[in-house]
Chains A and B, each alone.
Chain A
Amino acid sequence: MYETVIGLEVHVELGTKTKIFCGCETEFGAPPNTHVCPVCMGSPGVLPVLNEQALRLGMKAAMALHCEVRKDSKFDRKNYFYPDSPKAYQISQYDEPIGEHGYIDIEVGGQVRRIGITRVHLEEDAGKLNHSVFGDASYVDFNRVGIPLIEIVSEPDIKTAEEARLYLEELKAIMQYCAVSECKMEEGSLRCDANISLRPIGQKELGTKTEIKNMNSFRHVERGLLFEQERQEAMLYRNEKIVQETRRLDESTMSTISMRSKEDAHDYRYFPEPDLPRIVVSDRFLAECLAEIPELPAQKRARFVQDYGLPDYDASVLTANRPLAEFFDETAKRVKDPKVASNWIMGDVLGYLKTTDATIETFAISSMQLAELIDLIDNGTISTKIAKSVFKDMLETGKDAKILIAEQGLVQISDESELRAIAQKVIENNPKSVQDVLAGKEKAIGSLVGQMMKETKGKANPQVVNQILKELITG
């Protein structure tokens, strides 16, 4: 029997306006080589100057991942030849990363699992190679060169592919909560490489690992790791030796393919970057970074369960990202029953966002407006059914629920004398249904309620209607 050991290396692009060592913009999707200057292009004679915002975001990330942060650290050069690197070295951090010894808590099957973070370090991104479809040339886009990154290296604490996905989801949520990064995997602002090895249960030493690259979504990470786990396991059962190598996930087959073996491993010849002074930060700077870290997803989940009485499932759905959590928080504060707010958001709001491929940030209804709608149901002004159609109109018009209700005359009729008069009419016109009710066919009352709703254009308060009908029929 074997157990799986997984460690993840995640690169996160920091959401700064400009690059880490020059003033070029970081905007995604610009035409190739339009956000470049002599500094990021590594022209002879240029020098890097650290963007303080990159350091700040990196520090915040390290703190949010519960790392011990260094007040005094440095940059190093990682030397390698490749056309994506205009200087032929990457400015990174080698032996003095800004953060170390952190962790992320994930929930697996109702249990909290703590995944250690070895280190968080700052570095610059490389250019992007685009290979000609004819296979005869490669083009380099240097827009990405010099975009600030943090690399987050986990301890080999992850035991399953599912845990790996949960770790990534939690990591992404934390980064987004702290406004460190948008973490859009499709734009490359979050990238993940995975190391995986197997060992006989009970053995202390780690088995031979492979590294998997080219995984473009969390699902792919999970699938890739599952494949690799099975591949290695099968090999071990056949007494074959695992080769230490880098493998690539092939998306069409969801299998991993060997890219290069350890023998091709580089000697990066790290040494302290002489063009940059040591990174020394003040206590005040650290305090500012700390103050900018908001309530994190785990804390929020706990609070939603505790203060709002939400089920765990609701709490975890609603904290998936910070704007959504804040939207819920703002709505829940204003209504009598937070669970009702949760139902609306998890159902109608998220449903709408999913079908329109939109995000909560651009959602047409504000939390205040939604709370008002829920309130109107709660105080009996409208029925839930009417509320659903008001919700749709709110989406289209952006108007408040109260205004729409007034405009369309949708206020629920709860006035007994008014409803009694209508009920009389309905009973007279439907003797068959009345007899059925009297004969004990409980369901028949539904048809009468339906008639009532038709007469009142759905505005009748269903509870009151029920009660009146029963009274009138059974006396």
Chain B
Amino acid sequence: MLDFSQGIRKLHEALRAGTTTPERLLNESFERIEHADGEINAFLRVNDLVSRDRLTTKAAIADAFSPKHLLDGIPYALKDNMCYEGIETTCASKILEGYIPPYTATVAQKLDDAGAILVGKANMDEFAMGSSTENSSYFPTKNPWHKEYVPGGSSGGSAAAVAAGMVPYALGSDTGGSIRQPSAFCGVVGLKPTYGRVSRYGLVAFASSFDQIGPITNSVEDAAIVLQAIAGADTHDATSAHIDVPDFSAKLTGDIRGLKVGVAPEFFADAMDEGVRQRVEEAVKVLKELGAEIQPISLPHTNYAIATYYLLAPAEASSNLARFDGVRYGYRSQNAQNLLDMYSKTRSEGFGREVKRRILIGTYALSSGYYDAYYKRAQKMRTLIRQDFEQAFSQVDVIVSPTTPTPAFLLGEKTKDPVTMYMTDMCTIPVNLAGLPAISVPCGLSQGLPVGLQIIGKMFDEQTILQVADAYEKAVDFAAVRTAHRKEAK
């Protein structure tokens, strides 16, 4: 029996040896989805025909298949805010219902070129705004570990799909923690690359200066493999960085001796879950035992990160989401009397509560008379937060923290209080403000739910965070915990 969690390299070897085929892997994926997704709801759409079409067009039939790339013939899922030509893309919003993009996102194109096979589009918080996937206009996704708990968000569908073994990996997007937080909640690995490392072309924008696409995987090595396939400058994205893409697997040796690991007290809030605190402290001990030097550092402006983020990201969103006006595609209100009426009714009816809340906040922050007090001041704070990290990284190689202050919460637990919901991203948001790369790797359980260890790196130094995460992962064998839990669950 195949298990996607054994890792992309193993699947690749099986394909190469002919002990499995792309078709069998795809069938396996469909079977898992069929079996489990009725309850978990990780997928908005499974593209049976399209996926099978991909199989035949690449002549990946039966035993004749010889993979040309590590991802060749291996299925994956896309978060529903990434475009794939001909496949409905809704961002889990009613306003984009029925929208079929006329082009394919660069990341999906790169995976296509590598021979990867798209299985379907994963659920998410509407327009990536949320931390629990409860803001999906279609249905909430459940945490595969405990189905009464949220999977996190906004890439909750992607994380749940990987955690439930429906796909070997998925792509998510991370604006304020949307890859790392659900990965932590679902006990999988989530990597947010440096801003500019991966092309955003084809990612429906939430907050353009924060958004970044990255992998959600079962292991650190898988994250390195997927990042390798999607990274690099793109002529379609002027903000993608013209910086060499190194071999992200090169440093996955398990050796982190002499590396300097920073720990900042600002990331350990008073309201933090005790189990999370203990797991992260234990993880720091493990790193020390592996030969890393632990060093206290300070990031003094961390407390302002959430306020800063919730001005800047909504400001950009208010503009990015203005194009959903019912004129040319997606939902259009049928009750409108004139143009202005059509705009306001379409948007009032088409967007969900949280999206509207953020559009209003952002519009306000950019309005004449308020711009200086809100948007501009927040930009200044963003600079200070970035400088905090620059300062810290003059002393250490990576910074570790909890990915989230608590493990997954119950479905419905925080939906009534947006600010409490926002606080779940307190450890991840500063990283997006600074544009840095960070990875979340499972570091044990608290109250039977997974806890994530966040490892933050220097600009464009994904190699080192992958190195540290991999060494930690090898040292603790979280996969065993996962397997044990699955058996128990069955």
A residues neighboring B (CB under 8 Å): 38, 41-50, 77, 79, 81, 83, 86-89, 267, 269-271, 274-277
Contact = CB atoms under 8 A, between A and B. Distances in A.
A89 B322 contact: yes
A191 B441 CA distance: 58
A47 B237 contact: yes
A44 B103 CA distance: 10
A77 B238 contact: no
A42 B316 CA distance: 16
A49 to B, nearest CB: 5
29 contacts: A41-B328, A44-B89, A44-B96, A44-B99, A44-B204, A44-B324, A45-B89, A45-B204, A46-B202, A47-B236, A47-B238, A49-B238, A81-B322, A83-B339, A86-B323, A88-B319, A88-B322, A269-B363, A269-B367, A271-B315, A271-B316, A271-B319, A271-B375, A274-B239, A275-B208, A275-B239, A276-B239, A277-B238, A277-B239
B201 interface: yes
B26 interface: no
B209 interface: yes
B204 A49 contact: no
* Residue from the set A44, A48, A271 with the largest chain B CB neighbour count within 10 Å: A44
Nearest to B316: A274
Contacts of A270: 366
Contact of A43 (B82, B102, B237, B368): B102
Nearest to B91: A44
Given A44-B101, A45-B105, A88-B322, A271 B366 contact: yes
Interface string B307-328: 0000000011011001111011
Contacts of A276: 238-239
The 8 closest A-B pairs by CB, nearest first: A88-B322, A274-B208, A269-B366, A274-B209, A44-B204, A45-B204, A45-B202, A267-B368
B164 interface: no
B256 interface: no
B83 interface: yes
Contacts of A87: 322-323
A45 B325 contact: no
Contacts of A43: 83, 101-103
A41 B339 CA distance: 19
* Residue from the set B203, B238, B315, B367 with the largest chain A CB neighbour count within 10 Å: B238
A267 B364 CA distance: 11
* Residue from the set A45, A77, A89 with the largest chain B CB neighbour count within 10 Å: A45
A81 B202 contact: no
A267 B367 contact: yes
Nearest to A87: B323
A267 B205 CA distance: 23
Interface string B182-219: 00000000000000000011111101110000000000
Nearest to B315: A271
Contact of A88 (B83, B103, B201, B325): B325
Contacts of B367: 267, 269
A270 B369 CA distance: 12
Contacts of A38: 101-103
Contacts of A277: 238-239
Contacts of B409: none
A276 B209 CA distance: 10
A277 B200 CA distance: 14
A270 B208 CA distance: 15
B304 interface: no
Interface string B360-372: 0001001110010
B83 A47 contact: no
A47 B102 contact: no
B65 interface: no
B422 interface: no
B139 interface: no
A211 B417 CA distance: 48
Nearest to A275: B208
B138 interface: no
A128 to B, nearest CB: 15
B343 interface: yes
Given A46-B103, A77-B319, A274-B209, 14 more contacts: A38-B103, A43-B102, A43-B103, A44-B204, A47-B201, A47-B239, A49-B235, A49-B236, A49-B237, A79-B366, A81-B343, A271-B319, A271-B375, A275-B208
Nearest to B235: A49
Nearest to A80: B322
Given A45-B204, A46-B201, A269 B343 contact: no
B111 to A, nearest CB: 16
A80 to B, nearest CB: 9
Contact of B238 (A79, A267, A275): A275
A414 to B, nearest CB: 71
* Residue from the set A47, A79, A81, A267 with the largest chain B CB neighbour count within 10 Å: A47
A47 B237 CA distance: 6
A426 to B, nearest CB: 83
Given A81-B322, A88-B323, A274-B208, A269 B103 contact: no
Interface in B228-243: 235-239
B467 to A, nearest CB: 30
B377 to A, nearest CB: 13
Contacts of A274: 207-209, 239, 316
B327 A83 contact: yes
B323 A45 contact: no
A369 B90 CA distance: 67
Contacts of A45: 81-83, 89, 101, 105, 201-205
A50 B239 CA distance: 11
A328 to B, nearest CB: 45
A267 B368 CA distance: 7
A79 B103 contact: no
B176 to A, nearest CB: 15
Contacts of B82: 45
Given A271-B375, A275-B238, A47 B323 contact: no
A41 B99 CA distance: 14
B109 to A, nearest CB: 12
Contacts of B207: 274
A81 B237 contact: no
Nearest to A48: B238
A41 to B, nearest CB: 8
Contacts of B89: 44-45
A269 B363 CA distance: 8
Contacts of A49: 235-238
Contacts of B103: 38, 43, 46
Contacts of A89: 319, 322
Given A43-B102, A45-B205, A269-B367, A79 B323 contact: no
Nearest to B347: A81
A54 to B, nearest CB: 13
A79 to B, nearest CB: 5
Nearest to B339: A83
A79 B327 CA distance: 16
Contacts of B324: 44
A47 B89 CA distance: 17
Interface in B44-95: 81-83, 89, 91
A48 B200 CA distance: 11
A86 B328 contact: yes
Contacts of B235: 49
A322 to B, nearest CB: 34
Contacts of B375: 271
Contacts of A267: 367-368
A271 B315 CA distance: 9
Nearest to B379: A272
A44 to B, nearest CB: 4
Nearest to B369: A267
